[in-house]
Each structure stands twice: as C-alpha cells, then as structure tokens.
Amino acid sequence: MTHYDLIVRNVRVASHDSPEPVPADIGIVGGRIVAVGEGLGTTDAAEVVDGGGKVAFPGVVDAHQHWGIYNPLDVDTDVESRAAAQGGVTTGLNYMRTGQYYLNKGGPYAQVFPEVLELSGGKAFIDYAFHLAPMSKEHIEEIPALVDEHGVTSFKIFMFYGSHGLHGRSSDQSKFLMTPEGERYDIAHFEFVMRGIQKARELYPEKAEAISLSLHCETAEIMAAYTQLVEDEGTLTGLEAYSASRPPHSEGLAISIASYLAHETGLPKINLLHLSSAKAVEAALLMAKTFPHIDFRREVTIGHLVADIHTASGIGGKVNPPLRPREDVEALWEHLLADELDWVVSDHACCRDEQKFGSDREDVFLAKSGFGGAEYLLPALVTEGQKRGLGWDQIVRLTSWNPAQRYGLPSKGAIKEGYDADIALVDLDHAWTIRAADSLSAQEYTPFEGFDMTAAVTDTFVRGMRVLEAGQVVGEPRGQYLHRPTGRAEA
C-alpha cells in the first residue's frame, strides 16, 4: 500500500483533455501526484483534506506578472504572491528588465539577475520564474548564458519604449531605459534580439522548444500622434480617452512588424502579449496564416475579458494596452471560445494608491499604468466562462496547460500522475463581490470593484503544500525559483 503524504479527496478533477470534471481523490507523495482516482485509501496518509465536491483545477500558471515594478522586489515577492494564491495561481512568471522601475539600474544581467534571485529568494508563496528583456547589445550577447546558467528561456520586447515611456511620452530614451550612450531601443534592436534568441536555440537544441520571445505590441509613433489628438480635442476623459490615445490599429501594426521580423530572423517561437482588441487579434490571426512556419501564441488578460472603459472602476483601470470598449471585450470572448487565444493571464502589477494617481485623480494621463489582478484570475474566468459556455477543458488549457507547455514547465499544468501537486479548489456555488479591501495585495483599489463573482478559490496547494486554506494564506513562503526548462522546483 502506498503511503501518501497527502490525499485530497472528494473533488472533481478538471483536465485539459476532458470536457467534464471527473470525480476523484488525489494522492500526493514528495510534492508530486502519484495517484488520481476514486476511493483512494486514506488510512495510510499523513494528511487528508476533504474537498467537499469542489472542482480541482491544476494550479494556475500565470504567465504574465510584474513583481517589483512599483514596489521593492522582495516586498512584492512576498505580498503579491499571497494575492496570487488567492486566485488559484501556483506558478508566477514575472517580467523583469533593467532601467527605471524594477531595480532602477542598468548594466549587464550577469550582475543584475543574481540580485533579482537574491531579493526574491525565500519570500514567495508560489513557485516562480522570470522572463527577461534584452535592453542593450550586451544583453543580447548574454542570452546564451542566461539560458544555460540561469534557466531563463523566455524573453521580451516592449515595442513602444523607443519613443514612448511606460505611462506616456518619453523624451529621453536613455534616461528611461538606462541604455548605453549611443544605443537605440528600436526596430533594428528588436531584430537583433530575435537573432540572439535564435542563436541560443541553435546552441541548445535540447532546450529550443522552451525558448521563446514575447512582445508587447504597440506602435510609439501612432500613440504619440493620437495622444496629441485626444488632448488637443479635449472631449474624451478617463479610460475612454486613454483607449483613444492608444488606438487598436497601433497594436495591429506592431504585430505585423514583429511577425515579419520573426520571419526574417527565422525565430519560430513568438508570443503576442495581452491582445486587447478585435483589430489586434485580427492582425495576429492574419500573421499566423501569412507565416505558418512561425509558432505564434496569443495571450489575453483577465482584465481585458471582464472590464471595459465604462464598467471599470475609475482611472485605476489604466493599463497598457488600454481597456477597450465593450465591443472589443465581446470580440475577445468570441476568439477565446473559438480556441484562437492560447492563455489568460493577470498582468499583475501592484501599484499602490499613492503611486497610481497623479495630482489630479481624474486625469488619466497623469496616472501610472498597470494594476493587480492575479487574485481574481481563476474566479473571474470561471464566473464569466460559465455564462458564455467556456468548456472546463478550455479553462484548464487557458490557465495552466498551455502556458506550462510553452514556457518550459513540463510537470506543471495538469492533475495527473507524475505532475507537481499544484492544485486550486474552486467552489462553484460561492457568490461574492470583489472588494479591494478583501484582497491580500498591497494595492488599495481595484478596477474590478463591485464586480459579482459566482465562483471562489478556497484552497491552493503548491507542490502538495497548502498555501491557501478557506481563502486565507497559511504557512511560510515555500515557493521556489524554477530553472527552465524543467518542471521541478530547485532548492
């Protein structure tokens, strides 16, 4: 008889390859799932948790977070990983770069990334990894070492940063990005980043499937011109003004440029981040048809799926790319239901009230960009998905299976034998209303204030360790850095 460390019994297991959750017990040994089936004996288990008939989802692999962007990285790693556990997230993939915000420094990743690991180490309640952005020529040269020595297999380009800052205009690129004198962060740099990543794929063919490039696709010149138009006309305010200042065709144009560069450089693994509009998805699907040899993946955020420029709670909903009108939200859902989008993320970037809003709390152009939301990821997707007929298998693929497969985490994303025991229990009969005051995040507001949910995450397990019990974080931070491609957490 198997001696189990933990049995989670009386649950319905959701899977990426099954249309309906299946009644089962889950047996766990050493942080891994060793048995899934009905009637597992509980007498030889160190601990038994009764799931009460709830749906057991594989822990969410939130492929887009930003720990440390507005708050110290060590603080965010602790506090915001707690909020992530509230949303059923068991693995957080965080974007990190040099320049203003984050660690507020330039220099080689050989110096910067060990500091990132030191600051985050031992503080997370969930497992985590980092995507890195090559901001300089030196960073491009470091890509093979980052892959080989640090297990960083995913990289990022911010396409609008060349002449547009994080929150708006940027007249001094070198000051914002802290790039070396004489270097530019432009389309040519993006090309050379792609060539550098492809070189790493060729150097490490055994890791090539896990090595990819993600792009934030917006066009600086379009945004600068439209921002001026919106401000000069002065008829639009709030999130409506911000959406108009960064129009959807700005996304579409950037997607087209990025896709052709991938074709030119022979880089076949491209992730198009946080598509916010019908035009963005239209461009992404067109590029996939145009360049069938490129393996595109298309991402959408939970914020863009549940909120629009009129329903979000004030200008706290400012984010890049912007929240859009309702017709864009509906278009995203059409594509999601048609399996034309690959994963749903939070784009969690905790920005506290005192940081978020400028001297005029009604002026969207003075506010900082980004907000938290990992704590609502799984509950909101289940809530809205149930209304629209989103399949249980689709939810698992969108939140766990697809990002795990793409980002070099082969033992994450499924409740099956041999996989990490990352589990989120969801009560489908728990009605509640989103209130910022109930979140474990340090952010004191949320653009989802007052949104009604019909499902709640009650318990979250990371490698068999319960980090959320009855909606509250428990225990000590035992999340570990994931050296990819691997599914095993490293000590």
Has residue 287 got a pLDDT over 60?
yes
Task: State the chain's mean pLDDT as an integer.
Answer: 95
Exposed/middle/buried for residue 255 (C-beta within 10 Å: 0-12, 13-18, 19+): buried
Least trusted range by pLDDT, from 12-26, 178-192, 262-276, 376-390? 178-192
At 408 the three-state DSSP class reads: coil
> Per-residue confidence at 175, pLDDT binned at 50, 70, 90?
confident
The whole-number average pLDDT for the span 303-316 is 97
Please write down the long-range contacts of 281-290, taking CB distance under 8 Å and 24 or more positions apart: 281/331, 281/332, 281/335, 281/340, 281/341, 282/252, 283/251, 283/252, 283/253, 283/255, 283/256, 284/255, 285/335, 285/340, 286/256, 287/255, 287/256, 287/259, 290/259
pLDDT at residue number 177: 86
Show Cβ contacts of residue 151 under 8 Å, excluding neighbours closer than 6 positions: 129, 408, 482, 483, 484, 485, 486
Nearest Cα neighbor of 129 from 116, 110, 112 is 116
The SS3 of residue 184 is: coil
Q: Which residues contact 86 (CB under 8 A, 6 or more apart)?
A: 374, 375, 439, 440, 457, 460, 468, 471, 473
36: pLDDT strictly greater than 60? yes
Query: pLDDT band at residue 305, thresholds of 50, 70 and 90?
Result: very high
Highest-confidence range of 101-105, 390-394, 487-491, by mean pLDDT? Answer: 390-394
Whether domain 59-411+431-439 has CATH 3.40.50.720: the reply is no
Q: For the chain, which residues make up each domain, given as ranges?
A: 59-411+431-439
Q: Which of 48-52, 86-90, 139-143, 364-368 shows the lowest mean pLDDT across its residues? A: 364-368
- For the segment 197-221, the average pLDDT, to the nearest whole number, is 97
User: Quick one: pLDDT at residue 489?
Assistant: 43
Percent of the chain clearing pLDDT 90 (strictly above): 91
